[in-house]
Amino acid sequence: MAHINDNYLKLKAGYLFPEIGRRVRAFAEANPQAKVIRLGIGDVTRPLPPAILKAFHEAVDDLARVETFAGYGPEQGYDFLINTIIEKSYNPLGVTLKTSEMFISDGSKCDCANILDIFALDNVVAIGDPVYPVYNDTNVMIGRTGEADEKGYYKGIVYMPCNEANGFFPAYPKEKVDIIYLCFPNNPTGAVATKAQLKGWVDYALQNHAIILFDAAYEAFITEPGYPHSIYEIEGAKKCAVEFRSFSKTAGFTGVRCGLVVVPEELEGTTTNGEKYSVNKLWLRRQTTKFNGASYPVQKAAAAVYSAEGWQQTKEIIDYYMENARIIREGMKAAGLTVYGGVNAPYIWLKTPSGMSSWDFFDKLLTECNVVGTPGSGFGPSGEGFFRLSAFGNRDSVIEAVARIRQNLK
Phi, psi of 330, rounded to the nearest 5 degrees: -70, -35
Find all residues with CB under 8 Å of 400, minimum gap 6, and list them.
37
Binding mask 96-115 for ligand MLT (x = CB under 6 A): -------------x------
Q: Which of 78, 181, 179 is nearest to 123 (CA)?
A: 179
Site string for ligand MLT, 299-338 (x = CB under 6 A): ----------------------------------------
Does residue 409 belong to the site contacting ligand MLT (CB under 6 A)? Answer: no
d(CA 186, CA 380): 14
Residues 6+ apart with CB under 8 A from 256: 48, 56, 247, 298, 301
Q: Which is nearer to ligand MLT, 269 or 378 (CB)?
A: 378
Sole binder of ligand MLT in the list 39, 42, 154, 325 (CB under 6 A)? 42
| Shorter beta-carbon distance to ligand MLT: residue 109 or 351 | 109
Examine residue 24 and tell whether it contacts ligand MLT (CB under 6 A). no
Q: Does 41 bind ligand MLT (CB under 6 A)?
A: yes
Give kind and range of the element (H or E) at residue 297.
Answer: helix 296-304
Q: What mask of x and - would describe binding to ligand MLT in positions 61 to 100, judged by CB under 6 A?
A: ----------------------------------------
CB of 53 vs ligand MLT, minimal distance in Å? 22
**Which CB sits closer to ligand MLT, 42 or 310?**
42
Local structure of residue 162 (DSSP, 8 states): -
Distance in Å, CB of 387 to ligand MLT, minimum: 13
Three-state SS at 161: strand
If one asks whether residue 346 binds ligand MLT (CB under 6 A), the answer comes out as no
CB of 176 to ligand MLT, least distance (A): 30
Q: In 112-247, where do the E strands start and end?
A: 125-129, 157-161, 179-183, 211-215, 241-246
With residues binned 3-state (H G I as helix, E B as strand, rest as coil), the percentages for the chain, rounded to 5, are 45, 15, 40
CB closer to ligand MLT, 43 vs 265: 43
Q: Please identify the residue of the shown chain whose CB is closest to the bound ligand MLT.
A: 42
Closest contact distance (angstroms) between CB of 41 and ligand MLT is 4
Rounded to the nearest whole angstrom, what is the least distance from the CB of residue 213 to ligand MLT in the complex? Answer: 15
- Applying CB under 6 A, what is the total number of residues that bind ligand MLT? 6
Do residues 37 and 380 make contact, with C-beta atoms less than 8 angstroms apart?
no
**Whose Cβ is closer to ligand MLT: residue 280's or residue 382's?**
382
According to DSSP, the residues that pair with 372 across neighbouring strands are 38
Q: Shortest approach of ligand MLT to residue 331 CB, angstroms?
A: 20
Evaluated on CA atoms 86, 91, 92, 93, the torsion sign reads positive
State yes or no: residue 186 binds ligand MLT (CB under 6 A): no
Of 139, 187, 299, 377, which lies in the binding site for ligand MLT, with binding defined by CB under 6 A? 187
CB neighbours (10 Å) of residue 118?
Answer: 18
- CB–CB of 285/24 below 8 Å? no
| The one segment of 38-46, 88-96, 220-228, 260-268 that binds ligand MLT by CB under 6 A | 38-46
208, 202 Cβ separation under 8 angstroms: no
| Interaction site with ligand MLT (CB under 6 A) | 41-43, 109, 132, 187
